[in-house]
Amino acid sequence: MKQLIDKLYNNQTLEKEEFLTLLQQYEDKELSEYLHSLARGLSEESFGKDIYLRGLIEFTNYCKNDCYYCGIRSGNKNADRYRLSKEQILECCEVGYNLGFRTFVLQGGEDLAFKDEILVDIIKSMKKGYPECAITLSIGERSYEQYKKYYEAGADRFLLRHETANEEHYRLLHPDSLSLENRKECLRNLKKIGYQVGTGFMVGSPYQTMECLVEDLLFIKELEPHMIGIGPFIPHKDTKFADFPAGSVDLTLFLIGILRLMNRKALIPATTALGTMDKKGREKGILSGSNVLMPNLSPITVRKKYDLYDNKICTGEEAAECNGCLRRRVSSIGYQVVEKRGDYME
C-alpha cells in the first residue's frame, strides 16, 4: 500500500480503484502513520509549524433549506432561532481582533432576511473596521451576481462544502429543491470571480460508501480549491438521521493525510467536529496534515443555538478562554498559532 501513498507524494494521479484500495486500509496503523508523516512534512514545507486561526461568527441559524442531516434545517421546529445584528457582528470582530485573529468567517444558514444590501453593508463595515483582515463567507448557494456583489464589497474567501460528489448519495441527504450540479456550479462561479474557495465533505454520512469518498477526492482534484474542510458526520437528535452512527475519526484523519498529499498548498482545518468526536481530535488533525483551526467568536448567548449536530464543543466558553486553550493545545504538539491572515499562496 505504501507505493500508492508514494505515488500521491510524488504528484502522480491514482486511478479510482487505487484510491479505493488505499481507503480500505485506513485502519492499518503503520500505513496511517506513514501517510501522516509524509503529510506533516509537506505541510511544514509550505507553512512551517504555523497554524492559522479563523474566527467563526455564526450570525444566523435561520435556513430556508431542509437538508436531512442538519440541526438548523428549516423543518426542525425545535430549533431556537436567532439573528445577530450588524453591531453584534462587529463586536465579535473587535473581540477577535484583540485576541490576534486576522480572518473572520461569517457563517450562517441560507437566511432570506439577510438581503444583499444588508450583507454588503455588513461586509463593507467589517472591511472598513479591520482592513488588514480577511473576510470569509459561508452562507450557501447564491447566484453569480450575488457572489460578485459580496466580493466587490470586500469578501476574500468563500466556504461551500459540496458534502458529497455522488449524485445518488446527494439525493439521499437533501430535498429535491437542492441539486448537486447547482452546488458545483456555485463553486465554479466563486473561483471565476476570484474568491479563495473552500469545499469539503462529511466523512461517514448516512449511506456513504468508500466509492462515494473516492468521487469526493476526484472532484476536489478537479476543482483545485484553496481550502478543504472535512469532518466526521455527527448525528443530530432532531433529524431523520438521529439514530445513524457517527463517522470515523480514523478515516477522517486518513483522508486529511491524502488530501494534503494531493493539495500541498491548501488550507485544511482540523474541524470542530473532529474535536467533538475525540478530545485530541484537533491535535490529531494537525499531525495528519491540517494547518487551520476555526474557534468560535459568536456570543455565548447564541452558540448552543447554532447546533448543526449534537454535543458540539466550546459552546459555553468565552472567546478568550477558547483562544488560550487552543494556543496551549497547538503548542503541546510542537506547533504555534500565528497572528496572520494565512492566505492561499500559489
How many CB atoms neighbour CB 232 within 10 A? 24
Q: Are 37 and 2 spatial neighbours (Cβ–Cβ below 8 Å)?
A: no
339: pLDDT strictly greater than 90: yes
Helix (H, G, I), strand (E, B) or coil at 76: coil
pLDDT at 234: 97
* Residue where the block lists cell 467589517: 126
172 burial class (0-12, 13-18, 19+ CB within 10 angstroms)?
A: middle
Sign of CA dihedral 259, 261, 266, 270: positive
Question: What does the pLDDT look like over 308-331, one tens digit per residue?
Answer: 988 888 877 777 788 889 999 999
Q: For 291, which DSSP code?
A: -
pLDDT at 82: 98
293: cell is 483551526
Question: What does the pLDDT look like over 228-264, one tens digit per residue?
Answer: 999 999 999 999 999 999 999 999 999 999 999 999 9
Helix (H, G, I), strand (E, B) or coil at 116: helix
d(CA 176, CA 343): 36
Confidence of residue 42 (pLDDT cuts 50, 70, 90): very high
pLDDT at 313: 83
Confidence of residue 94 (pLDDT cuts 50, 70, 90): very high
The answer to pTM > 0.85 is yes
